[in-house]
Amino acid sequence: MAYEKDVHFWSLILVVLWAFVLPVESAEQGKPKKPNKKKQKIKRTKWDDMDIGPFQAYGLEVSRGGTLWRPALKGLSIKLDDNASVCFDTERLRMAVGWTGGFLKLPTGRDGLAGVPNIVGDIAFRTSMTPGWAGPEDEWAEPDPPIIKGNNVYSMGPLPRTWAKWRGHYSHGNRVVLSYSVGASSVLESPAHANGIFTRQFEITRSPSKSPMSLLVCEVEGAMGTITNNVAMLEKNGIVTAAAIIGTGVELRIERGRVIAGIKSLLPTNQFVIALWSGRKEELREFQDFTKAKLKLKPLSAFIKGGPAKWPELAITSGKLGLTPGAYVVDTITIPEKNPWNSWIRCGGFDFFKDGETAAICSVTGDVWIVSGINESLKELKWRRFATGLFQPLGLKIVNGQIFVLGRDQITRFHDLNEDGEADFYENFNNDISISNHYHEFCLNLSSDEAGNFYFIKGGNLGPATVPHHGCLIKVSKDGSQMEIIATGHRAPNGMSVGPQGQITTADNEGNWVPTSRLNLVKPGGFYGHVHTAHLTKVPTDYDKPLLWLPHQLDNSSGGQAWVTGNRWGPFEGDLLHLSYGKCSLFKIMKEEVNGGWQGAAVRFPLKF
């Protein structure tokens, strides 16, 4: 009987594979209605009740006075205390905005899939979507800046690596330490807040070249700027935004309504603090007094070696063994819907560790969990929360014992520095993917080949592509340093695989230009039907044919594929399997090559999920 671990493996796929097919709920407002005297009820989801941790990677938007501002498309929002938060733009390495009054209101459209978090509170300071650090020649104009059209923003990717590079962030208790490079210099930065004053603590390891370094601190359009007693002030309409340096080797200057910090120190390592405050001018004295105080701060390097465990408790569930007679059965891996943090677990990717009894699972609401006890009995499944705050993670792969997770912003490689069962360093393995604020362009799946390269697909925005990677199958090199497009023309491709001989398959979901679900055997440079994401100079009149079409009544929403690589599936060794999350079905794919072209058919397994 083809059972044992391979059957457990496929059962887990079918249980945890996350579905896009959800009740559609528009995030837009309808026609104006007559005023209602009753207080408008704020829509909530289970996400609002979840302890998401001290940070959340996502885009961010601010709605004020009928206008919409997007501080960042790839932002890391950090909760500094119960009253203050900041958002760091990981593409342009700038502190995009700081606010007081709370943290985030998470999106609610399509149960949180559509929409962008909003800030809760009032803005204290902000910067426009430009580089946070000047370039190698002390310039501020980046070669390929984001495009802003009305309420929409389109980013072609992060700053060039010779300019600056996001390395990731460390989590130490509730403290977050940002890590990035500027030129050849290494930067650690940690934001904080106390008594109405924001601080940014820096530890910079300078490169031997000692090239100039200039940092954007804050800006107020149309403000009058002055510097008095080491305090830079931008004043407008009676409100002052003030900045000061606590430490040596750094000088402030004002340029066109922007406060700039010039790093003058030539020491191998320079540590200093930038303090920020906003308020009425007559209240400035308290900030001035703060800037004169001597701060006793630990070096940031003390917080990058692993911190105390935040989620030591285990969530325990019991699985269910399949009882239906037959060669293939379905076991159920039970998710801990009730857990100490109210984590809303909606599985978006998973993979097994080498022992075959332990797996890592990512949830689209931002978590990564590790579950053990996946054995012949499933009596005690132990769930441990491993990481939080990711940006719509929809792919996970374990390579050499390390967990890699695909989010909309980047591929993250996790490091448990003190081996306490929780991630301490969220490393940016690659964040070259382009992005806009459109909800539909999820980054989906994460696969790897025998050489160690990674693959995933970025969805389209349902209309004409506005960024270079809409609808593309992407390859990332083994070391994360290179990214390239392999194929185009995908619409909503929630499924792919890489076979043992390097074969690549993708599956797309029906919609515009895709009449029904299709399964593709991909060739490099191929175009797979969705005209809006062809990325060609001329509109194509034909497309690369699929391996097979899947009629709506059999598969209305395609999922992933996998290859049978062992002999425990009976006669199907070496075959391709396909999953439908719309119909909760598993198919065996039969394929043949005829005169250089491929064709196939699908046979559904007699299983119920």
Count of alpha carbons within 13 Å of 415, Cβ hemisphere only? 17
Q: Tell me the mean pLDDT in the region 11-21.
A: 37
Q: How far apart, in whole angstroms, are the C-alpha atoms of residue 574 and residue 2?
A: 14
pLDDT at 22: 35
Give the burial string for 244-264 (b: 16+ CB within 10 Å, else e).
Answer: bbbeebbebebeebbbbbebe
Range list of H helices, 180-279: none
pLDDT of 26 over the 70 cut: no
Assess whether pLDDT exceeds 80 at residue 19.
no
In three-state secondary structure terms, 304 is coil
pLDDT at 327: 87
Indicate if the pLDDT at residue 222 is higher than 50. Answer: yes
- Of 407, 493, 438, the closest CA to residue 155 belongs to 438
pLDDT band at residue 39, thresholds of 50, 70 and 90? low
Unique residue bearing structure tokens 């207080």: 39
Yes or no: say if 344 and 363 are a contact pair by the CB < 8 Å rule. yes
Query: Is the model more confident about 327 or about 140?
Result: 140
- Structure-model confidence comparison of residues 12 and 216, the more confident one: 216
Per-position DSSP letters for 418-456, written without gaps between them: T-SSS--EEEEEE----EES-TT--EEEEEE-TTS-EEE
Range 485-491 average pLDDT: 97
In the predicted model, is pLDDT for residue 115 greater than 60? Answer: yes
Question: How many C-beta atoms lie closer than 10 Å to residue 600's C-beta?
Answer: 16
The radius of gyration of the chain's CA atoms, rounded to the nearest angstrom, is 26
pLDDT at residue number 33: 45
Instruction: Give residue-wise pLDDT tens across range 52-104.
Output: 999 999 999 998 878 899 999 999 999 999 999 999 999 999 999 999 999 99
Classify the C-alpha dihedral 144-258-78-206 as positive or negative.
positive
Task: Give whole-number Cα distances, 125 to 95, 111, 122, 198, 239, in Å.
Answer: 9, 31, 9, 9, 11
Whether the pLDDT of residue 18 is over 50: the answer is no
Q: What is the pLDDT of residue 37?
A: 52
pLDDT exceeds cutoff 50 at 283: yes
b/e sequence 265-299, b meaning 16+ C-beta within 10 Å: beeeebbbbbbbbbbeeeebeebeebbeeeeebee
> Which two tokens mark 472?
């593309």
Question: Can you say whether the dihedral through the CA atoms of 234, 239, 241, 246 is positive or negative?
Answer: positive
Q: Which two tokens stand for residue 340?
A: 């100490």
CATH for the 54-303 domain, from 1.10.10, 3.10.450, 2.60.40, 2.70.98: 2.70.98
Query: Per residue in 335-373, pLDDT tens?
Result: 999 999 999 999 999 999 999 999 999 999 999 999 999
Q: Is the dihedral of CA 524, 528, 534, 537 positive or negative?
A: positive
CA distance 226 to 231: 8
Domain ranges of the chain: 54-303
Q: Which residues contact 286 (CB under 8 A, 6 or more apart)?
A: 195, 196
Decide: helix, strand or coil at residue 300: helix
Question: Taking all residues of the chain, what is their mean pLDDT, rounded to a whole number?
Answer: 92
In angstroms, rounded to a whole number, what is the distance separating the alpha carbons of residues 461 and 473? 15
Task: List pLDDT tens digits, range 153-177.
Answer: 999 999 999 999 999 999 999 999 9
Beta strand 411-415 with 55-64 is unpaired
Question: Given the structure tokens 């000088």, which residue do they identify?
Answer: 251
More confident residue, 28 or 268: 268
Q: What is the pLDDT of residue 36?
A: 52
**pTM score, whole prediction:** 0.92
* 8 Å CB contact between 506 and 487: yes
Percent of residues, the chain, with pLDDT higher than 70: 93
